[in-house]
Structure 1
Amino acid sequence: MNILVLQHLAIEHPGSLRDLWAAAGHRLTAIELDAGETIPPLEGFDLMVAMGGPQDLWDKDALPWMCAELAAIRHWVADLGRPYLGICLGHQLLAEALGGHVAPMARPEVGLAEVTRTAAGAADPIFATLPERLTTFQCHGAEIRDLPAGAVILAENAACPTQAIRWGHHAWGLKFHVEITETTVADWQAIPAYAASLREALGAARAATLVKEVAPLLPAFRASAAAMDRALQAALAPERALNAPLGGTRAGGYHVGPGSDRSPRLGHRRPHRPHDCRRDRRNPRPGARGDRASGRRRHGALRRALPQGGDRGP
């Protein structure tokens, strides 16, 4: 599987998920957007992943690369109906790209926190594999204030009611850091702005001991990441089968020419519309745009991967 990873700070990488994907033989293409790298043509990728970062969505008009990223996410998720996973900032980007609204929290959520799975989460192919209550690592001062139409909440807590969401049957966003590793907290504390945020939220004494506080929970964090990844790969299997090679070959499951933008199943060329940051409140319904025939096939296949009964989302 070819995975496109959108990063907003070098130290905010997929962590334990990256290790799992490498061990499984998946190919990762990491794009460091804050360093001036640009998103490549999306053909050949099977999964888009957007990571965390220090940027804020309300500053997007001053960050041209973020406008381009929002456009790419919207095109990938809403127009093409392709699989997406967003973590922290990537979670917020998913909501904003699809017409939701992200705003500052009254109080930042930093450090260890428990989240609770919702009824929709219990019926979700990924969150159904996790305990009803899950200890997580958090580091954010923003939240999804308004969900995009078609989104369901999979996990919540008192500090942030939108800890995890799913849009349609193929796009997930997590506010918490499931990818945390042995070096994550120390890496973040080496960044002056992050270190200041940790001290402000936790106090100097607790911030200084955060590495030790997190260490005993690392095996559980890795187990949660592994369970979520197994469930994600299983949920995406029908999507990948639909993108089996049709003549030519490429690692992503199909063959297209460079610079084109086609539905891999039908070979239908579509323009990639630039994202207008001034018009980001549009609310597409899942499958409402793009190649409708291929979108219905993908969403139908992913629906069949969902468990029967319960809240299955839009």
Structure 2
Amino acid sequence: MKTSDFYYDLPKELIAQTPVEPRDSSRLMLLDRNTGEIDHKHFYDIIDSLNPGDLLVANDSRVLPARIYGIKDETGARVEFLLLRQITGNRWEALCKPGKKAKEGASFTFGDGLLKATVAEVKDDGNRIVDFECDENFFSTLDKIGQMPLPPYITEELKDKERYQTVYSHELGSAAAPTAGLHFTKELMQRIKDKGVNIAYVTLHVGLGTFRPVKVDDVTKHKMHSEHYEIPQETAKLINETKKNGGRVIAVGTTSCRTLESVASFYGEIKPCEGFTDIFIYPGYEFKVLDGLITNFHLPESTLIMLVSAFAGYDNVMNAYKTAVEEKYRFFSFGDAMFIS
């Protein structure tokens, strides 16, 4: 398949700039992957589409306030660092802008002296390896001075940092939110549990590569970024029991989906484990675990719309997106949701 096969025309005004309140009042498109039939609801109605004995698997990764602004010690020039991943302790891989100011050995100060940094290495891809120093705990300091690394298509300022976190986020480490989960409120999750639907968690730390465009014409030639995942023992047990008892395993978001399918592809089963995955799911892929998927509306020609097309069928998905545009759904991170069953 060609990358251009996954293009659709999206009016700019349909890109959601701010989240709706309350979280579960966003719109929900129901898509039957067998028939292609579409229905329109609100997210709080999702409970009507879930059955006792089903299992929701959500990603509990928490987004780091990883964008920090500071000055170069030598010149006072302004700089922006975006933390990508922790290497060891206070050593991180980061994107630095402007890059020419962040040569090896250069030192910087952030948050009026709360955090200091020295560039230890300039990598071949232009990223920097940076050593940080602070008096307090590094993550506490980051929480004070850092900003959420919102995607480039969101241009409005986020007033409440927690609105780019799921209500169940727990494990710090993502550079972007697993956005399908942003629609859940604690109250809705309790109502879902009360109906007899189980909820389990995996962790996949979302990398900035999730926004990286596909630059090759032939989909199969695209190389995915690698992300760290973990499946706890309790989650593995619940997934296997649900399958055995005839319930559905429903992934909340493409990150949860990729975690489950990575492990099933690698081990031939779901078991407690952790590692790195660069699985790329596109049409033709045979799903080993998933029975349902809750997801947002993704960028044209992205790996995420390719994954959704693999699960629901290419024609069904492209028709659903065309319908979403006609019905003026809100798109991308703070946008509306789709439940594919």
Fold-level similarity (TM above 0.5): no
Considering only CA atoms, is the larger Rg found in Structure 1 or Structure 2? 2
By percentage of residues, which structure has more helix?
Answer: 1
By percentage of residues, which structure has more strand?
Answer: 2
TM range (shorter): under 0.3
Q: TM-score, normalised by structure 2?
A: 0.25
